[in-house]
Structure 1
Amino acid sequence: MTSGLLGAKQASWWQNLNRAEQVVAALIALMPLTWVVGAKQLPLLLGIGLAVYEIRRHGTLQLKRPGWMVGAVVAFGVYRFLSETLWGEPLSPSGLLSLLNTWVLPGFLLWYFQSRDIRVRPEIVAWSCLVLVGEMLLLWAGIHFVLGEPAYAPPLSLFGLLLGKGEQFFPGGGIGNFLHPYWPNDRVFGLARFGFFFGYPESFAVVMGFIALLFLDRKLPAQPLLLGACLFLLVLSGTRSAWLALPLVLAVRTWFTAGQVGGRALPLALVALVSFIALSVPPVTELVLDTVHQTAQATDKFRPDSSEVRGRIYTRTLERLGDEWLFGHGVPGPTVLPRYKPAALGTHSFVLGTLLYRSGAVGTALFVLYWLALAGWLYRTRAGRPPCALLAMLYISLVLLTKDFEVTEMLVLVLVALLREREAVDG
Structure 2
Amino acid sequence: MPSHRIPLPKGNTPLHVTRHLQAVTSTSCNRIPLPRPIQPLHVYRHLLRAATYFPLVCRPYLEQRIKFAFRRERERAAAAEKKLSHIPNRRAALGAEQFHRTKALEEGRRKVTSLNAALAGDATRFQRILFHCFGTLGKRRRELFAAFAKKAPEPPSNAQQLEKRITDLERERQKKEKLRKIPPTRRVYDRDDPAPWVNQKLSPIEDNWDLAKLRDLFASQHAHRKRASFASAWPRGDVGQFNPKLNVPKTDIWGRPPAARRVTKKVRQWWKTTAEKLVPPVDESEWQLLRSLAQGDAPRELWKFPLRRPIAAPTYQEDHARSEFHWAAYATVPIRELERPRSRKFARLTGAEDDGPYSQTQNKIRENTPYSNRKLRRMFNEVWQTSSYAAEADSQRKGKPRVTFTWGTALKRLPPATGLQHSIFEGVDSKGNAIGQQS
**TM-score, reference length from structure 2:** 0.22
Greater Cα radius of gyration, structure 1 or 2? 2
